[in-house]
Structure 1
Amino acid sequence: MNPNTKKPLKVGLVGFGKSAQLLHAPLIEHNRSLELSYIVQRHSDRARRYYPKTEIVRSFEELLETDVDVVVLLTPNPTSAESARRALQAGKHVVLEPPFSLSESDAENLVLAGTRLEKVVSVFQHRRWDGDFQTVKKLLQSGRLGEVREFESRLDTQRSLPKTTWIEENLPGTSALNELGTHLIDQALVLF
């Protein structure tokens, strides 16, 4: 909720790929504190079929000119830090997909900008809510496993399909480490 108006925060998704369709949009739609107000889709109106009450805008720049409160960046990893910086400067809160940034300096600069501008900048670590992870977390917290001296974890991805999205292109920040490893590292940090 917006603490000043007691109304839901207006959220804008930048992109409408798998992550937007399967995670972000449904979660936002089911949270009374949030309102899915805008979706950036440059060429297609596919989002309108699923979210007819949501305004479709054609560019990131157009989104930044709206009354959106929170910008969710679902864009290629090499462009995320710059887009986050621009959204913060436009007075918006920002949520990024992992990885938070491709460099330590970009991450530090985003955190500093968010603090200076009094805006939240965060990463959405959705794998923290996976059932298997939640089960392991509960077991560790209960002490039923005793002292854990070694931990092995893995995430699988389907790569036999044709490359159809930017995530599968050979760009900085699109490797298995950046796409899956960020979740494994996050889970290890949360657990231990």
Structure 2
Amino acid sequence: MPEISLEPLKIGVIGFGYVGRVFHLPYIQATEGLALHAICSSRGDEVRKSYPGVKIFDDAKAMCADDALDVVVIASPNETHRPFAEMALRAGKHVVIDKPFTTNLRDAEAVLQMARAAGKHVIIFQNRRWDSDFLAISDVVRSGVLGPIRHVESAFDVFEPAVSDNWRFAKGEGTGRWFDLAPHLVDQALLLFGAPERVTADIQCLRAEAGADDWFMVTLHYRQLNVVLRGSMLARFPAPRFVIQGMKGGAVKKGLDIQEAQLVRQISPSDDAFGVDPDPLRLRHQDGSTQDMPAPRGCHRQFYALLVATLNQKSPLFITEDQMLAVMHIIEIAARAAWEGHTLKLALPEATCRHLQSNSIYENA
């Protein structure tokens, strides 16, 4: 890791809900080179109790105007992502946005255009690039041990039959399970295999009281490869997190990364047991034999460590504009494919496809 500046980057976080409290704040505090400077929330008393000494704002514009801030982290509802990002950019700050980028591709493009004009970085919090399950699958794909890969399933199942009043599942733009999980699942697929050629999608609302979709099956069609992304909120028997079928073998990773569960239990990212995955990846070889391989340790904190190195050295972002926009493009194409009921061609710019392909794990295995 490049040497870190002695002067820590000062961070301000907008939002003190589940995402801000569970995902961002623990990692910010556990990352060398970062200093938590401010939190913007309507729950000031709760913030003050949990983070004494941190500046508290109840107005995002006022926090963004704080000259001491270097980076604004947006951990607020999806519909606020574009206005808060633009507010921070106008104030001369770098911006981290929790997924999804925005509620539509058009807004994402507008935010990036504004960031270029301001000479600042905008980056999406793709923490699940450092999930133990995805790291395990990435290692297997990179090794080439499975031979030519023909079918992949990436599933993220839970069992939550009761409909909560969470805004994520209310009727509205940018809500629902597909919009909630696709930023991660699509990003992982792009990292593994690059840009698909076509997209087929089925996105449904299976719980009668739900205002937004709670089940999806989206297929990314590549040449001689299908990648199926699935998510259900009614899974009493969750599907394996990953299944890969190759011509010389297969791989299955059953369990989910445990970092979120550990953060909910208030286990520190600095704890020796943090991110250690007890569930191995199982390989089945061409001769029918099986082999269990320990999963790499998950490390979401790596996102913020790389952010520090990038901003201090003024280097290009480790999550590129092409990757961020391609994710948004596929999210929208899949929703349209589900609505229209047929497979749609993915019309990404040729330069974007080349970039995604050149950075994909399978292409470079």
Normalised TM-score (structure 2): 0.49
Alpha-carbon distance in 2 for matches of 1:82, 1:142: 43
Determine the structure 2 residue equivalent to 1:160: 161
Alpha-carbon distance in 2 for matches of 1:156, 1:75: 24
In the alignment of these two chains, the number of paired residues is 188
Q: CA distance change for structure 1 residues 157 and 12 in 2, over 3 Å: closer, same or farther?
A: farther
| Mapping for residues 1-192 of structure 1, pairs under 5 Å | 6-66=6-66, 67-161=68-162, 163-192=164-193
Amino acid at match of 2:94: H
Amino acid at match of 2:81: S
Alpha-carbon distance in 2 for matches of 1:145, 1:45: 54
| TM-superposed deviation, 1:36 | 0.9
Q: CA distance change for structure 1 residues 6 and 83 in 2, over 3 Å: closer, same or farther?
A: same
Q: Which moved more, 1:106-115 or 1:45-54?
A: 45-54
Q: Which protein has greater RCO, CA pairs closer than 8 Å, 6+ apart?
A: 2
Alpha-carbon distance in 1 for matches of 2:32, 2:173: 36
| TM-superposed deviation, 1:6 | 4.3
Amino acid at match of 1:39: I
Determine the structure 1 residue equivalent to 2:359: none
| TM-superposed deviation, 1:54 | 1.5
Alpha-carbon distance in 2 for matches of 1:61, 1:41: 12
Alpha-carbon distance in 1 for matches of 2:160, 2:93: 35
| TM-superposed deviation, 1:57 | 1.1
State the percentage of identical aligned residues: 37
> In structure 1, the residue corresponding to 2:152 is in which secondary structure?
coil
Alpha-carbon distance in 2 for matches of 1:45, 1:158: 33
> Please, which runs of 5 or more residues in structure 1 have no aligned partner?
none
Normalised TM-score (structure 1): 0.91
Write the deviation string for residues 33-55 of structure 1: whole angstroms up to 9, x where unpaired.
11111111113422222221211
Write the deviation string for residues 70-128 of structure 1: whole angstroms up to 9, x where unpaired.
11111111121121111101111111111112222211111111111111101001111
Amino acid at match of 1:184: L
Alpha-carbon contact 1:45-1:56 (below 8 Å) kept: no
| Root mean square deviation, CA, Å | 1.7
Bigger Rg over Cα:
2
Alpha-carbon distance in 1 for matches of 2:43, 2:180: 25
Determine the structure 1 residue equivalent to 2:313: none
Higher normalized helix content (fraction of residues): 1
> In structure 2, the residue corresponding to 1:123 is in which secondary structure?
strand
Q: CA distance change for structure 1 residues 158 and 80 in 2, over 3 Å: closer, same or farther?
A: farther
Alpha-carbon contact 2:44-2:56 (below 8 Å) kept: no
Alpha-carbon contact 1:98-1:178 (below 8 Å) kept: no
Alpha-carbon contact 2:169-2:177 (below 8 Å) kept: no
Moved over 6 A (4+): none
Higher normalized strand content (fraction of residues): 2
